[in-house]
Amino acid sequence: MGKELIQKSLKDSLFTGIIALALFGPIVGLRTVAKNEVLIVEPKWLVVLLIVIFCAVGRFFINLYTFKKEQRRGEPSSLGKAISNFLDEKGAQIAIGAIVFSIIFPFMPFADRYWMDIAIMMMTYIMLGWGLNIVIGLAGLLDLGYVAFYAVGAYSYALFAIHFGWSFWICLPLAGLFAGMFGILLGFPVLRLRGDYLAIVTLAFGEMIRILLLNWYELTKGPDGLTGIPRPSFFGLPFKRYPDEGVETFHTFFGMEYDPMQRIIFLYYLILILALVTNAFTIKIRRLPVGRAWEALREDEIACKSLGVNPRNTKLTAFAVGAMFGGFAGSFFATRQAFISPESFTFIESAIIVAIVVLGGMGSQTGVVLSTIFLIGLIEVFRDFESYRMVAFGGAMVLIMIFRPRGILAKRKPTITMGKQG
Amino acid sequence: MSDTLLDVQNLTMKFGGLIAIDDLTFSAKKDHITSIIGPNGAGKTTVFNCLTGFYRATAGSMYLNKDNNKMDLKKFSDFKVAQKAGVARTFQNIRLFPQMSVLENMMVAQHNKLMIASGFSILGLLNSRSFLQKEKEAVEISKYWLDIIGLTNRADDNAGDLPYGDQRKLEIVRAMCINPHLLCLDEPAAGLNAKESAELNKLLKFIKNDKKTGILLIEHDMSVVMGISDHVVVLNYGKKIFEGTAKETKNSPEVIEAYLGTEE
């Protein structure tokens, strides 16, 4: 087997090298440079050679250790299996450890403004991932327009807060409610669609909301965006260095020095709580009849109908609940940024959230966290390399697809077990 | 008339120019196993799809006698036939929820009752005692049925990992979890070996005799049909060509002709 394997892998990697040459030769190898006001082609064959060698050798080793090794393609590799088994066994401990870590995180010595901002951003993505996991992971409805609900949440929060001056804790549920209503609104026309067709319509829905926000100038200020969104306060105590006359602030109330980090840490805990609530809710509802019906619908809609499960209501609740959490995350986004514009709600956001859910392993709550850390973390680590960020993002996706074709955590736990009942 | 469970009159189903069922009239009695047989393409599954609301019949009437209430099955669309009228069905190509556990499959079948018990999820989210009690009862019902087909020890395994014969049986008991008045089985013996067929016969007789549930059966396996049917309806090209007991059917020249052709 060994010789044959090496032969096969060599052949394949040679082929990969040829494809790499064909691709990167023109893209990287031929560069136009302006010299003395003349455009000339400057060949960079050394770089091309390095890339081709990298691709071929990389392919050779991937072949040797994953693709060709196990005869059946698409089976999880041994490395992936080991990771997954480890996470399965130690799942509870890891989850508790992660929660403890995220609680003490702001007081870590290295947790400066930069790290806190990244942590808040990651938490937002984790929360969005958990929300979308209900729609995609549980109910199996491929929703490519999730950012629309994020936008609806953000804008309804902003409009309520600006025009009525309501506090964060009143606007938050309202924003969730609005987003949930939009979820139902989207749900109705797409009830009969599945798979690719559903994906197209949801994608269009996401764009519609964005374009609506862009053009309804009277309400949304269009491309100018909404400014002056009130910052959240700590039970009525604002985070301000120079408060208005007679207003007690957070730092004076607790007798501390003013520090802008106080607000950042508060925002961090806010999104941490929101995300954990989303997680707890999802874990709980998955074990309820409606959660089981979502999963059953993902598995086989016709069988569901034959058992008297109402597919319409079941799908609509999935859309509504998923959208509601998107709305919560949106209102957090609005209050954190204090400024929102349609720019923030483009398709790429939807795509990233979908990637987080799918690469994490459909329906897996822990998987969402892992893939967020992996994907968003990589983008951040590569921040200094500008245009290579997206290459890193794509590379991370490719790596997950090679080692864990069904997502980082593909194993599903039953929602109810006979053993537990005795 | 009171022991009639299902009364189908002049049922017709057309797909464009194709007449799949042509003026079919038959009835099924309570505590009976009524078999629908016929060559491939005779329209047997189409009859099921009309009965269970997956298709809307072009013409004719279908009435179900549910505790002496005459229910018009044509009034119900897809899932409502199972929910409101209590007509359960299985499929020719097994339709389990393969990535869900055996027990979860059984729990989904009890969805409507559990949904009400969970206060449309609100009581359930609050961990209400009454919901937990109802959920426990549902598990008990599942366990009862799994005991009967001998799958209790595999209750926590994925349904898709079961052997083929067990999947067939699981699909039948899952359908029984909705407490049906009429159970429609589409080729339950397809792909089963002789031993599994015998077990299936036993299960169906149990459902008929002990659960008092009427069974409508589409089947090609004649050992099953002849072994357990109380009444046989034979279809060919969407038309009923014969109706009678299993024994009469076996000896009917029309039926033999439909299956084997005529001697020239």
B173 and B191 co-located in one domain = no
> Which of the residue ranges A137-141, A178-182, B57-61 would you say has the lowest mean pLDDT?
B57-61
B207 and B173 co-located in one domain = no
Contact: B52, A290; criterion CB under 8 Å: no
Task: For residue B33, list its beta bridge partners.
Answer: B215
pLDDT band at A419 (very low <50, low <70, confident <90, very high): low
Of the candidates B127, B145, B179, which is a domain's last residue? B179
Mean pLDDT value across chain A: 82
Measured in whole angstroms, the distance separating CA B158 from the mean position of its chain's CA atoms is 23
- Minimal Cα distance from B97: which residue of A? A299
Q: What is the nearest CA distance from A193 to chain B, expressed in angstroms?
A: 16
Contact: A311, B178; criterion CB under 8 Å: no
Better-predicted residue by pLDDT, A89 or A281 = A281
Establish how many alpha carbons lie within 13 A of residue B219's alpha carbon, considering only the half-sphere containing its beta carbon: 27
B193 and B74 co-located in one domain = yes
B38 occurs within a structural domain: yes
Element (H, E) at B71: strand B69-72
Domain ranges of chain A: 2-67, 78-421
Enumerate residues 83 to 102 of chain B having a beta carbon within 8 A of any beta carbon in chain A.
83-84, 88-91, 95-101
B72 and B125 co-located in one domain = no
What are the residue ranges in chain B where pLDDT is below 50?
1
- Nearest alpha carbon to residue B49 among A297, A305, A299: A305
Region at A74 (left for phi over 0; alpha for psi -120 to 50; beta for the rest): left
B92 occurs within a structural domain: no
Rg for chain A, CA atoms, rounded: 25
- A367's CB contacts (< 8 A; 6+ apart) are A359, A360, A361, A407, A408, A409, A410
Strand-pair category, B59-66 with B69-72? antiparallel
Phi, psi angle pair for B76, to nearest 5°: -100, 135
pLDDT for A323: 92
Question: Hunting for tokens 């020249």 — which residue is that?
Answer: B253
- Minimal Cα distance from B153: which residue of A? A418
User: What count of other Cβ atoms lies within 10 Å of the Cβ of residue B254?
Assistant: 12
- B-chain CB neighbours of A288 within 8 Å are 118, 121, 124-125
Element (H, E) at A285: helix A260-286
B254 and B173 co-located in one domain = no
B52 occurs within a structural domain: yes
Tally of domains within chain B: 2
B220 occurs within a structural domain: yes
pLDDT for A421: 44
Taken as a whole, chain A contains a residue count of 422
> Which of the residue ranges A110-124, A181-195, A401-415 would you say has the lowest mean pLDDT?
A401-415
Q: What is the nearest CA distance from B179 to chain A, expressed in angstroms?
A: 10
Amino acid making up residue B247 = K
- A-chain CB neighbours of B109 within 8 Å are 307
- B107's CB contacts (< 8 A; 6+ apart) are A289, A292, A416, B114, B138, B139, B142
B103 in contact with chain A, both atoms CB, cutoff 8 A: yes
Interface test with B, best of A315, A362, A418, A421 (most B CBs within 10 A): A418
pLDDT for A151: 92
C-beta of residue B146 within 8 angstroms of C-beta of residue A321: no
Contact: B156, A310; criterion CB under 8 Å: no
pLDDT for A132: 92
Question: Hunting for tokens 């999880």 — which residue is that?
Answer: A76
B56 in contact with chain A, both atoms CB, cutoff 8 A: no
pLDDT for A126: 92
Of the candidates B157, B179, B201, which is a domain's last residue? B179
pLDDT for A422: 39
A103-138 pLDDT, tens digit per residue, is: 888 777 777 788 888 888 889 999 999 999 999 888
- B-chain CB neighbours of A284 within 8 Å are 125
B193 and B264 co-located in one domain = yes
Q: Give how far Cα A276 sits from Cα of A102, A320, B34, Å.
A: 11, 19, 55
Mean pLDDT of A250-258: 71
What is the sign of the dihedral through the CA atoms of B218, B223, B228 and B229? positive
B23 and B79 co-located in one domain = yes
Spatial distance between the Cα atoms of B231 and B5, rounded to a whole number of angstroms: 13
Spatial distance between the Cα atoms of B14 and B115, rounded to a whole number of angstroms: 37
- Minimal Cα distance from A283: which residue of B? B125
Contact: A309, B111; criterion CB under 8 Å: yes
Domain that holds residue B13: 1-86+184-264
pLDDT surpassing 60 at residue A26: yes
C-beta of residue B164 within 8 angstroms of C-beta of residue B196: no
Report pTM.
Answer: 0.81
B168 and B103 co-located in one domain = yes
Interface test with B, best of A290, A307, A315 (most B CBs within 10 A): A307
Rg for chain B, CA atoms, rounded: 19
Contact: B109, A307; criterion CB under 8 Å: yes
- A-chain CB neighbours of B99 within 8 Å are 295, 299, 412
C-beta of residue B2 within 8 angstroms of C-beta of residue B68: yes
ipTM exceeds 0.90, yes or no:
no
Mean pLDDT of A76-89: 67
B80 and B189 co-located in one domain = yes
B144 in contact with chain A, both atoms CB, cutoff 8 A: no
Contact: B82, A308; criterion CB under 8 Å: yes
Instruction: At A420, list the tokens.
Output: 């537990």
Mean pLDDT of A256-273: 82
A323-343 pLDDT, tens digit per residue, is: 999 999 999 998 888 888 888
User: The CATH number of the domain where B212 resides is what?
Assistant: 3.40.50.300
Task: For residue A32, list its beta bridge partners.
Answer: A41
B123 in contact with chain A, both atoms CB, cutoff 8 A: no
- Minimal Cα distance from A303: which residue of B? B95
Contact: B54, A415; criterion CB under 8 Å: no
B194 and B82 co-located in one domain = yes
Mean pLDDT of A98-103: 84
Element (H, E) at B72: strand B69-72
Contact: B100, A299; criterion CB under 8 Å: yes
Task: For residue B242, list its beta bridge partners.
Answer: B234
Interface test with A, best of B73, B95, B176 (most A CBs within 10 A): B95
Question: Hunting for tokens 């013996």 — which residue is that?
Answer: B189
Q: What is the nearest CA distance from B125 to chain A, expressed in angstroms?
A: 7
pLDDT band at A152 (very low <50, low <70, confident <90, very high): very high
B110 and B48 co-located in one domain = no
- Nearest alpha carbon to residue A102 among A81, A77, A127: A127
pLDDT surpassing 80 at residue A270: yes
Task: For residue B9, list its beta bridge partners.
Answer: B61
B91 occurs within a structural domain: no
- B-chain CB neighbours of A292 within 8 Å are 100, 104, 107-108, 111
Task: Give B89-142 as a DSSP string.
Answer: E--SS----TTSBHHHHHHHHTHHHHHHHTTTTHHHHTT-HHHHHHHHHHHHHH
Spatial distance between the Cα atoms of A157 and B185, rounded to a whole number of angstroms: 53
Mean pLDDT of A145-174: 87
- Nearest alpha carbon to residue A229 among A356, A94, A114, A344: A344
What is the sign of the dihedral through the CA atoms of A191, A326, A351 and A297? negative
DSSP letter at B158 equals B
B151 and B219 co-located in one domain = no
Q: Give how far Cα A367 sits from Cα of A126, A396, B250, Å.
A: 10, 14, 59
